[in-house]
């Protein structure tokens, strides 16, 4: 049985389907809740995020879907919001936080090129290396450490409902091409972040979106990180980060099994009345 996904994209941003199509697919899958989390407004033009002028239409549409399908599924109004290490959430109209049922805090952009343009950690390999050269003098360790440092700051200050794809920096790290995921400095950076999350109500997601789109061969976060999460009793939810309806439960059976094998204590899903526990 599939419980929920609250990380899903629509044609308001870079998703392929309408919000209603995502909701109907979730109903067909027997889910209890579906959260729509369109990429929120950015401080610059980007076709993969909702424009500031479309935010109200988006909110109205998700609210209408909430009503329309209330006897079949709980629809939650969310957004995936970009946190910038230099300007945090300054680009977000603070009243937006009040209007949403929840928000996902994600870091995609870690720095800027010499021309001032921001670069994203999930871009192509060579582009990311260029970015690290521009912002960190090529010091990958410093860049990756900074990613987790700022994730911690975001969680402490803004308390997102959940953190998006927490180890997104591994997207370009196939065969440890960028850094050694077993190195002690990396473990310390990740665990420092988890120690921060542990003291908040923020939830960590298992995100299967990278697998669905063929970018990575395993979920975010890595298995050893899930073990560290278990030790800290941080609640975990399973999300698909689906950009199309067909991927809405991509690898969910495998993830539920993995969580069982890892003896995770808390698998949770978000409802209109807060987080509910799932018996695995
Ligand atoms: Zn994301
Ligand atoms: Zn996403």
Fold of 4-278: TIM Barrel (3.20.20)
- Is the pLDDT confidence value at 220 over 90? yes
**C-beta of residue 224 within 8 angstroms of C-beta of residue 216:** no
- Residue ranges near ligand 2 (ion) with Cβ within 5 Å: 80, 241
32-36, 90-94, 262-266: lowest mean pLDDT where?
Answer: 262-266
* 144/154 Cα distance (integer angstroms): 16
- Is the pLDDT confidence value at 265 over 90? no
**Span 225-243, average pLDDT:** 97
pLDDT tens digit string along 74-97?
A: 999 999 999 999 999 999 999 999
pLDDT of residue 155: 98
pLDDT band with cut points at 50, 70 and 90 for residue 279: confident
Q: Residue 247: how many CA atoms within 13 Å on its side-chain side?
A: 21
* 228/209 Cα distance (integer angstroms): 22
* Cα 91 to the center of its chain, rounded Å: 19
pLDDT band with cut points at 50, 70 and 90 for residue 266: confident
pLDDT band with cut points at 50, 70 and 90 for residue 233: very high
pLDDT band with cut points at 50, 70 and 90 for residue 181: very high
Nearest-ligand number for the alpha carbon of 165:
1
| C-alpha 71 – ligand 1 centre gap (Å) | 30
Considering the entire predicted model, what is its pTM? 0.97
* 229/81 Cα distance (integer angstroms): 23
| C-alpha 36 – ligand 1 centre gap (Å) | 13
**C-beta of residue 268 within 8 angstroms of C-beta of residue 4:** no
Nearest-ligand number for the alpha carbon of 8:
2
Hey, how many other C-beta atoms are within 10 angstroms of the C-beta on 95? 7
């Amino acid at each position: 049985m599939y419980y929920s996904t609250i990380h899903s994209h629509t044609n308001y941003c870079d998703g392929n389907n309408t919000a209603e199509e995502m909701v109907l697919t979730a109903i067909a899958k027997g889910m209890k809740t579906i959260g729509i989390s369109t990429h929120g407004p950015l401080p610059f033009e980007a076709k993969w995020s909702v424009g500031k002028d479309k935010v109200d239409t988006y909110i109205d549409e998700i609210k209408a879907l909430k009503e329309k399908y209330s006897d079949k599924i709980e629809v939650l109004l969310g957004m995936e919001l970009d946190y910038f290490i230099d300007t945090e959430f300054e680009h977000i109209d603070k009243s937006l936080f009040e209007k949403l049922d929840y928000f996902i805090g994600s870091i995609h952009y870690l720095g800027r090129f010499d021309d001032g343009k921001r670069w994203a950690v999930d871009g192509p390999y060579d582009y990311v290396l260029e970015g690290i050269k521009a912002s960190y003098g090529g010091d990958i360790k410093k860049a990756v450490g900074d990613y987790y440092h700022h994730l911690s700051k975001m969680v402490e200050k803004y308390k997102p409902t959940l953190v998006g794809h927490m180890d997104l920096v591994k997207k370009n790290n196939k065969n440890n091409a960028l850094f050694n995921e077993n190195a002690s400095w990396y473990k310390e950076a990740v665990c420092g972040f988890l120690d921060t999350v542990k003291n908040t109500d923020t939830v960590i997601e298992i995100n299967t979106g990278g697998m669905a789109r063929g970018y990575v061969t395993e979920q975010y976060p890595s298995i050893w990180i899930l073990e560290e999460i278990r030790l800290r009793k941080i609640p975990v939810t399973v999300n698909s980060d689906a950009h199309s309806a067909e991927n809405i439960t991509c690898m969910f059976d495998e993830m539920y099994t993995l969580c069982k094998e890892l003896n995770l204590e808390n698998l949770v899903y978000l409802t209109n009345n807060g987080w509910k526990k799932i018996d695995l």
